[in-house]
Amino acid sequence: MSCISIIGSGFSGLSAACFAANAGCDVQVFEKNNMPGGRAGYFKEDRFLFESGPSWYWMPDVFEKFFNQFGKSAKDYYDLVQLDPGFQIFFKGNDCLKVPASLTELYDVFENIETGSAARLKRFLKESELKYNLGMRELVYKPAYSWREFACYDVLIGVAKSNVFKSLRSYVRSFFNDERLIALMEFPVLFLGAMPQQIPALYSLMNYAALDMGTWYPMGGMYKVVDGMHEIAASLGVDFYMNSEIKKISILEGKAAKLRTADRSFRTDAVIASADYHHVENNLLDEQYRNYTDKYWDKKTLAPSCLIFFVGVNKKIKNLIHHNLFFDADFEKHANAIYKGAQWPDNPLFYVCCPSKTDASVAPEGMENLFILVPIAPGMEDTENRRNSYFDSLIKRIEIQCSDSFADNIILKKSYCINDFEKDYNSYKGNAYGLANTLTQTAFLKPSMRNKKVKNLFYAGQLTVPGPGVPPAIISGQIAAEQALKFCNTLSYEKFI
Ligand SMILES: Cc1cc2nc3c(=O)[nH]c(=O)nc-3n(C[C@H](O)[C@H](O)[C@H](O)COP(=O)(O)OP(=O)(O)OC[C@H]3O[C@@H](n4cnc5c(N)ncnc54)[C@H](O)[C@@H]3O)c2cc1C
């Protein structure tokens, strides 16, 4: 039986492990940390449960499809609730835009802000739905080794119709004029890690995901998804080695033959490296086996890193909901500090997740659990002083927008930033979300999923195809497993496809 080794147990590594084991391979997963999940971590302190990574559960179909392939459903592992409102955005002057779960209500919200915009939103979402279907059916479940994979009539016509060479910014502005509606329509792509003017309009498929499919929450937290995937992998016989950082991939006759930790070595027939791509290439492989040079990586647009505060508050906060975006500052200035010149931003936009509004298990009764996230450029100097210089003003802005004071009720505060991403995940420049989905970093233009010099080494995760985010990471693991299985040519491969 072939043995497939997986480096890293984030969503992409867990997904790859499940698919490879289901096809009948021996699978071993090596994880440097003491728990699976990667960037989707959590910690408990003083009866608060803080999640340290993803909090937006979008594209529920991708999660369901994953579980279905193992004869399961998401509901076998967690209760999924739709948030209503899905999220809210605070603008300057105590102006707040709530995004309802119901599309009919959303059309009313648009029409009240800008006459005629409801009809335009309908058209926008219809086009986004077509892009979503095209993207999810034809584009993302491919290894994207070459443009030829996409060279069939339906795909080419679909891509041509999806304004692939138009930026999301000009596309959105051809529909809406009001700055608040524009901000709402542009915000989902910030997850893709670049400014809307650099993101192809194809990615308005994210608007369909955000506004039409809805914003969901697995009760107990996003870690429930990790638990579910981990449970499937374990039931399929996957061996997990926690606290086992891989230090070296040993190559023999053009193939990865062994993985080495500090004190052991493990034989392997194929490797799926789901840890950060740059780390795998630069730290685990000798130079002659790397796909890319430092010069290549220097030219890449990384998605942002972030400054995070985990905050426990011993009272309930008025007017805050589960997902809150604070767009009460200048977006362009903040975006320039991230993407042009890499500087710590003055007066940045930020996001506050308050899961205790939905889930009583994440905070003691009568208290709030806050996760405050400020997107920042990766690779900057990160000091305790710098982090703390933001805290008071962020809290003040929440207090002003929510018309409620709670600064004196803060009983717990922790920060997390670039240095922690590097230390915890071997993250390149402390990036949080991998590589941005710009036009020149999409599909076959992304770092390749296969190593061109080591034929049984494949890559998965947010720095390769299809891109950053939990659903793409799950898909990435599946595609990488398919490639490794093809290499191993296991007899049970037919069962898998
Ligand atoms: C703060 C934050 C908020 C986010 N919010 C959202 C959101 O709301 N919605 C969404 O969809 N996405 C969100 N994302 C993005 C999403 O979480 C990631 O894209 C996804 O989890 C990445 O999964 P991955 O498997 O590619 O990588 P990772 O999760 O980073 O997994 C890689 C694993 O490899 C391990 N590793 C590294 N080096 C080694 C080594 N040498 N040996 C062994 N193991 C190693 C790491 O410890 C890690 O566990 C967020 C990310 C962050 C950081």
CATH number assigned to the domain covering 3-41+222-300+439-496: 3.50.50.60
Dist. CA 273 → ligand 1 center (Å): 13
Average pLDDT of span 134-155 = 81
The answer, yes or no, to whether residue 493 has pLDDT greater than 50, is no
Each domain of the chain, given as residue ranges in start order, spans 3-41+222-300+439-496, 56-101+214-220+304-432, 104-213
Given a cut of 60, whether residue 321 has pLDDT beyond it is yes
Pocket test residue of 9, 39, 271, 324 for ligand 1, highest count of atoms within 8 A of CB? 39
The closest-lying atom of ligand 1 relative to the alpha carbon of residue 12 is 25
The CB density around residue 123, as the number of other CB atoms within 10 Å, is: 10
Which one of 59, 433, 463, 465 would you pick to mutate in the ligand 1 pocket, going by the greatest count of ligand atoms within 8 A of its CB? 433
Q: If you classify domain 104-213 with CATH, what class do you get? A: mainly alpha
Distance from residue 104's CA to the centre of ligand 1 (Å):
35
Residue 153 pLDDT grade (very low, low, confident, very high; cuts 50, 70, 90): low
Confidence of residue 197 (pLDDT cuts 50, 70, 90): confident
Tens of pLDDT, residues 235-270: 999 999 999 999 999 999 999 999 999 999 999 999
Average pLDDT, the chain: 93
Atom of ligand 1 nearest to the CA of 432: 53
Q: Is the pLDDT of residue 190 over 70?
A: no
pTM exceeds cut of 0.85: yes
| pLDDT of res. 436 | 87
Return the best residue to mutate from 470, 475, 476 for the ligand 1 pocket (most ligand atoms within 8 A of CB).
Answer: 470
Q: What is the pLDDT of residue 437?
A: 83
What's the 301 CA to ligand 1 centre distance in angstroms? 18
Calpha distance 160→481 (Å, rounded):
30
Residue 319 has pLDDT above 60, yes or no: yes
**Ligand 1 atom closest to Cα of residue 421:** 53
Alpha-carbon distances of 210 from 164, 359, 383, 442, rounded to whole Å: 20, 21, 35, 21
- Please give the CATH topology (third level) of the domain spanning 56-101+214-220+304-432: Guanine Nucleotide Dissociation Inhibitor; domain 2 (3.30.519)
Residue type, 430: G
Concatenated DSSP letters for 440-485?
GGSGGGSSPSB-SSSTTEEE-STTSSS-SSHHHHHHHHHHHHHHHH
DSSP type of residue 152: S
Q: What is the pLDDT of residues 22-76, one digit of tens each?
A: 999 999 999 999 999 999 999 999 999 999 999 999 999 999 999 999 999 999 9
CA of 91 to the centre of ligand 1 (A): 30
User: Is the pLDDT confidence value at 362 over 80?
Assistant: yes
For ligand 1, which residues put their CB under 6 angstroms from it?
7-13, 30-33, 38-40, 53-56, 245-246, 274-275, 279, 306, 308, 425-426, 432-434, 461-462, 468-470, 473
What is the 425 CA–ligand 1 centroid distance (Å)? 8
Looking at ligand 1, which atom is closest to the CA of residue 308?
A: 1
More confident residue, 160 or 340: 340
On the question of pLDDT at 166 being above 90, the answer is no
Which atom of ligand 1 approaches the CA of 39 most closely?
Answer: 29
Q: Encoding tokens for residue 93?
A: 């002057």
At 494 the pLDDT is 45
Length of the chain: 497
Q: Side-chain half-sphere of 307: how many Cα atoms within 13 Å?
A: 23
Q: Give how far Cα 213 sits from Cα of 57, 263, 359, 461, Å.
A: 10, 48, 21, 24
Residue 491 has pLDDT above 70, yes or no: no
Helix (H) or strand (E) holding 400: helix 384-402
